[in-house]
Amino acid sequence: MRAEVSLIALIISLIVLSLAHPARADEVYLKNGDLITGEITTSEDGLLVVETAYAKKIKVKWEEVACVASDKEVTLLLKNNDKIVGRATCPALGSIQLTDQQSGETRDFFLADLLGINPPPPPPPVTYKALVDVGGAINSGNTRSKTFNSSGRFQARAKKQRLYLEGKFNYGESEGEEDQRNWLTGAKHDYFWTEKLYSYLRPFAEYDKFQDLDLRFITSAGPGYQFIDTETASLFAELGPAYFYEDYDNGNDNEYLAARWAAGVRFHIIPQKIILFHFHEFYYDLTSNEGAYLRTEQGVRLALVKNFYLNFRVDYQYKSDPPEGNKSSDTALVLGIGYELNF
């Protein structure tokens, strides 16, 4: 009984619509008899989005829509991916009529033949993201010290490929004596065989004066899996063989075949405001089963104004067989200001 009343109400509304003057707003009639007026902005993920003056955006399931009328041109996306432009009117339940504003030609469609109205534009073929962080401190008086740290990351992403570049530099002095100087640089190229499965190639190099490390060079390749990749969350893991080389000032050099394991996660606690991140990569000596190297970075980014953010990061390194006199682990706490650019 209730369904019959809703249907009668909807039919009466359509009759009134046909007798009245043209609508001054887009109108969406639902199968339960409700009417939504506003501006049809787009349709996405099976939802029709209507911008209203009284409730901002309203998202309606496409299967609940009975009829649509517009006071200006809209774009219909058909299931065969054709796009038709015109002004929409509602000739009958479950149908839509589109009128070309220039020629006056009309075409009728069933709502079941549509994928959506005003579909969003396709994503660009390649997207780019760049992040730059800078931090430091200067102390004078009883203690004289200064530190400087910087890092940068760049990513280019296409449907089948992803390129990642990174670099870091840290410098420090205490009482006029240099006590910190290190840098690292790396790259990674991913080729996606499916939406989630990819293969990677990663070269990586670093230098640390106070670890007596002239050069650590690693290159690795293997499969990776992208579990999640959205604007607010990302999770991936990689596993593969690696070539590992170390050149020390006052220690034995190392060169061996290693196994590499890596994983990274990014999660927005509050979208675009508070972001947690973690990355680690672990290398294990396959020739002697004795050497191991672990590098991690984790932290939080807090949005400030526009594209600027506050960055707090903890960098940790572990080396199972450091040169004599060196410790096996190093930890750095980094606080700085960052800038993010997406284009």
- Would you state the pLDDT for residue 1? 52
Contact 224, 236 (CB under 8 A): yes
DSSP 15: H
Give residue limits of the domains in the chain: 2-117, 126-342
For the cut 50, the answer to whether the pLDDT of residue 65 exceeds it is yes
- Would you state the pLDDT for residue 263? 98
> Cα separation of 247 and 181, whole Å?
16
Residue 2 pLDDT grade (very low, low, confident, very high; cuts 50, 70, 90): low
* Overall pTM surpassing 0.75 (yes/no): no
Q: What is the pLDDT of residues 193-227, one digit of tens each?
A: 999 999 999 999 999 998 899 999 999 999 999 99
- Would you state the pLDDT for residue 17? 45
CATH match of 126-342 with 2.40.160.40: yes
User: What are the C-alpha distances in Å from 195 to residues 65, 161, 187, 198, 247?
Assistant: 32, 11, 21, 8, 39
- Would you state the pLDDT for residue 187? 98
- Would you state the pLDDT for residue 27? 87
